[in-house]
Chains A and B, each alone.
Chain A
Amino acid sequence: MAVNCATSSSLFISKPSNKPSPSSVTTTPFLGFSLAASTKPAVQSKRLFKICCHDKPAVIPAEQQWMFDDLTGPDVWNKTWYPKAKDHIPTSKTWYVVDASDKILGRLASTIAIHIRGKNLATYTPSVDMGAHVIVVNAEKIAVSGKKRTLKLYRRHSGRPGGMTVETFDQLQKRVPERIIEHAVRGMLPKGRLGRSLFTHLKVYTGPDHPHEAQQPKELPIRDKRITKQT
């Protein structure tokens, strides 16, 4: 482990952008130890690499020369990565399945929204759909705490005067159980064109079956410890 850290930190030392000034190596202790002591290569074949914006040329150890030989390709390290089309092909997205029985509504919806949006991935980009598909089964068995089962209200308005319809959680669960989870997740996804297309990646089903066996969905990894209803 220590060796790993040492090599990765010596990797970063030789990047010109991280050094305060290449010439005063011994006076500015970078990373808590002086550079001269650690990265003095035994081989004397140091090639000098001229950077236009610095006065003095930077000295590169021989074993790291390969990084500075070919500078004709795209600059991976200095330009923030943005996904290309081949980085988010819809047919190769991951599919997750989660059983909603006895899970707290909001906590489950939050986890689902994070996975659909792609915020759990290091390659997260807000303007691109990098997320996964999520299948929810047993939607009618979703749980809520406290008295929400009879007191939580779902409202919708038809647009005409007097056109507001109010339903309790219980009534909606008897009528269209999928809508409860859909409503919760839609509120947690971004609103806009991309958010609406993300919402289509959520599939909710009552009962334990789903028609997506061909996508070989995996179990959704849940990190929330309080997501299961305590009795």
Chain B
Amino acid sequence: MNKKEVFKLAKGFRGRAKNCIRIARERVEKALQYSYRDRRNKKRDMRSLWIQRINAGTRQHGVNYGNFMHGLMKENIQLNRKVLSEISMHEPYSFKALVDVSHSAFPGNKAAAAPKKEGLAVLL
């Protein structure tokens, strides 16, 4: 692309990268590569953020994310993580209902007694 287009894309860059064509061209190429890569990464990052938010929301009710999702799968509730995270933030009572549904379907593995190790004398 010609210089005009390069400088248009180089707006906001640091130092000489916004003013000098040789440096700007390199930085703009890199920026476009990053934007290609990050359009794919954004989907991953968003999903990870939803999962973290759902985790925080369910832990407030004493259930962790893994057990919560397992319970939802068992009940065939096909809400996706985006919607679940929005519910956990904006509709707390509905979210509590979902947590209760999940908990009744799958209370967790600790209910099936984890045997205490006898080798440990003291915890410290």
Contact = CB atoms under 8 A, between A and B. Distances in A.
Contacts of B78: 18, 30-31
Interface range on chain B (Cβ under 8 Å from partner): 20 to 34
Interface residues of B: mostly helix, strand, loop or mixed? helix
A49 interface: no
A144 to B, nearest CB: 9
A30 B100 CA distance: 20
Contact count band on A: 20 to 34
Give the dominant DSSP class at A's interface.
loop
Contact of A230 (B49, B53, B95, B122): B122
B123 A122 contact: no
Interface of A: 1, 4-5, 8-9, 11-12, 18, 30-32, 76-78, 80-81, 119-126, 145-146, 226, 229-230
Given A32-B76, A120-B60, A122-B89, 19 more contacts: A1-B97, A1-B100, A5-B97, A8-B94, A12-B83, A31-B76, A31-B78, A77-B83, A80-B82, A80-B86, A119-B56, A121-B56, A122-B54, A122-B92, A124-B52, A125-B49, A126-B49, A229-B124, A230-B122
Interface of B: 46, 49-50, 52-54, 56-57, 59-60, 76-79, 82-83, 85-86, 88-90, 92, 94-95, 97-98, 100-101, 122-124
